[in-house]
Structure 1
Amino acid sequence: MTDMIAAARDILVNAQNLVAFTGAGMSADSGLDTYRDAQTGVWENVDPHAMASIDAWARDPEPMWRWYLHRKSLSENAHPNPGHRALAELGAKIITQNIDDLHERGGSTDVVHLHGSLFEFRCTICSRPWKGATKPQHIPECPLCGNLIRPGVVWFGEALPPREWDAAENLMSTTDALIIVGTSGVVQPAAGLPRLAATRGVPVLEITPQPTALTPLATVQFTGRAGEVLPLLT
């Protein structure tokens, strides 16, 4: 482990444009469930087609509305872990698949949310942002077109937001060191982004409790949790 930490620090100390690509495992040490854990994963306990698709929203939006506000509350009550703070200390620009705000609260100022945010809402039809109150018992309506306000997250079958995708591609195309943390590397198209950096010969550090689809890209691979390993690299 000591040699690996030294090798990782050598990479990081020479990096001028460090990028971190993070997934649900990044927030696991803050008490938020990952999606695919065999026992506690979000999708083990909730049908993704019932709670994370535009078709389900069109059929029956109220359960989804309450569920996302519940998840928003869980995120609000969670706290950034030492891994979040370490990435901020390292000055990493963040590309995250997470929909919580723990990177921002951990001190990171440059964060791209590929899959949206629990803290943003918009009209289902015209996409007008909603800044008003959000209460579980009532789905607000858009003042412009009268349609329902929805959570500002990306559901299955929806395209990733173009602005965020372009920003992520640009970061991966210009980074000179990449940290991959807490992602299975199987959710497309996001999982393809680290390959943009790796194919340029950029050194890649991966931190994960178990091997992932992205492990073959790693120059240095740490088996462990984000909140435990990342502080060792600062």
Structure 2
Amino acid sequence: MRSRIRAASRYLQGMDLAQARAALRAARRVAVLTGAGISAESGIPTFRDAQTGHWARFRPEDLASPGAYRRDPELVWAWYAGRYRDVLSAQPNRGHDLLAELERQKGAGFFLATQNVDGLHARAGSGSAGGKLVELHGNLSQARDEQTGEVFPLPHPDELTLPPLSPGGQPMRPNIVWFGEFLPEAALDAAQRAFAGAEVALVIGTSSVVYPAAGLAHETRRRGGVVIELNPEATDLSAHADLSLRETASRGLELLMERA
């Protein structure tokens, strides 16, 4: 199987939809990277688009960095609490559901890495059907004990006291990767291994400019796997993908997973 996909990838320099569909159907190991585009259909604004109303006078870097948190943890928590409330009111969309279905088809051969912090993939069922879900940038519904590093779920926004304390009474920070911080080593290592071993990589709704996540699909490409991009706009990855569909996440996945 691997050799067939490698040969197709070298020869085609651009698959058509039927060939991409066949490659995805035949692949036993599929790795997926998602970005803000997949959650846009659920009404979740991008990171920078979340700067509206009262928060429009702040740069994201003023609210999402270790320095900002040291200066004013209550301000930072107020912003994250608002985003947390917003994502809880959103629902997974068709794109999230289709990726959960793809995991059910592929089982342990399925890997999903997301740059999103909204938790919608897990709510749609990803990571619960034999595959693996990794949240590279953390999750808005969680907080981390500043002293022990333990991660705890946040209570419902109506019951959330800011800044929150851990069960041990220690201050907690949002469980989010901030500007100037590294991605969690274990999560990144798992993603790099999965994409290096994938027969097909799907890159969905991400600009492909933020590294190291933007380099994951190139690991698949270098090892002869097929790279398929779903994005309404061209990105830095588009010229390197075997197929780049100018579609939303949900429509692109519908097309790829459609059976003849």
Same fold (TM over 0.5): yes
In the alignment, the residues of structure 2 paired with residue 136 and residue 106 of structure 1 have an alpha-carbon distance, to the nearest angstrom, of 24
| One-letter amino acid of the counterpart of residue 28, structure 1 | A
Contact 2:98 2:253 in 1 (8 A): yes
State the partner residue of 1:204: 227
| 42, 46, 69: which one aligns with 2:50 | 42
Aligned residues: 227
| One-letter amino acid of the counterpart of residue 5, structure 1 | L
Compare CA radii of gyration and give the structure with the larger one: 2
| 66, 70, 95: which one aligns with 1:58 | 70
State the partner residue of 2:201: 178
Normalising to structure 1: TM-score of the pair?
Answer: 0.89
| 157, 161, 172: which one aligns with 1:149 | 172
State the partner residue of 1:113: 135
Root-mean-square deviation (CA, aligned residues, Å) is: 2.0
> How far apart are 1:132 and its partner, in Å?
6.1
Relative to structure 2, which stretch is displaced further, 17-26 or 192-201?
192-201
In the alignment, the residues of structure 2 paired with residue 140 and residue 221 of structure 1 have an alpha-carbon distance, to the nearest angstrom, of 43
State the partner residue of 2:92: 80
State the partner residue of 2:116: 98
| 157, 164, 169: which one aligns with 1:140 | 164
In the alignment, the residues of structure 2 paired with residue 232 and residue 88 of structure 1 have an alpha-carbon distance, to the nearest angstrom, of 16
State the partner residue of 1:187: 210
In the alignment, the residues of structure 2 paired with residue 43 and residue 194 of structure 1 have an alpha-carbon distance, to the nearest angstrom, of 30
> How far apart are 1:131 and its partner, in Å?
4.4
User: Identity of paired residues, percent?
Assistant: 39
1:108-135 CA-partner distances (Å, limit 9, x unpaired): 1221111111122112243132346475
Contact 2:142 2:154 in 1 (8 A): no
Contact 1:206 1:222 in 2 (8 A): yes
SS of 2:16's partner is helix
SS of 1:62's partner is helix
Q: Aligned in 2, Cα 1:147/1:50: closer, same or farther, shift over 3 Å?
A: farther
In the alignment, the residues of structure 1 paired with residue 152 and residue 29 of structure 2 have an alpha-carbon distance, to the nearest angstrom, of 34
| 10, 27, 42: which one aligns with 1:15 | 27
In the alignment, the residues of structure 2 paired with residue 64 and residue 7 of structure 1 have an alpha-carbon distance, to the nearest angstrom, of 47
5+ long unaligned stretches in structure 1: none
Contact 1:19 1:175 in 2 (8 A): yes
In the alignment, the residues of structure 1 paired with residue 154 and residue 117 of structure 2 have an alpha-carbon distance, to the nearest angstrom, of 19
Contact 2:137 2:183 in 1 (8 A): yes
Q: Aligned in 2, Cα 1:165/1:61: closer, same or farther, shift over 3 Å?
A: same
Relative to structure 2, which stretch is displaced further, 122-131 or 106-115?
122-131
| 117, 124, 129: which one aligns with 2:146 | 124
1:131-164 CA-partner distances (Å, limit 9, x unpaired): 46475552123455x6421110100001111111
In the alignment, the residues of structure 2 paired with residue 25 and residue 132 of structure 1 have an alpha-carbon distance, to the nearest angstrom, of 25
Contact 1:65 1:136 in 2 (8 A): no
5+ long unaligned stretches in structure 2: 1-14, 104-109
SS of 1:86's partner is helix
Normalising to structure 2: TM-score of the pair?
Answer: 0.81
> How far apart are 1:93 and its partner, in Å?
2.0
Relative to structure 2, which stretch is displaced further, 3-12 or 79-88?
3-12
1:33-82 CA-partner distances (Å, limit 9, x unpaired): 1236xxxx336845111111010000001121111121111111111111
| 29, 38, 53: which one aligns with 2:41 | 29
Structure (1/2) with the larger helix percentage: 2
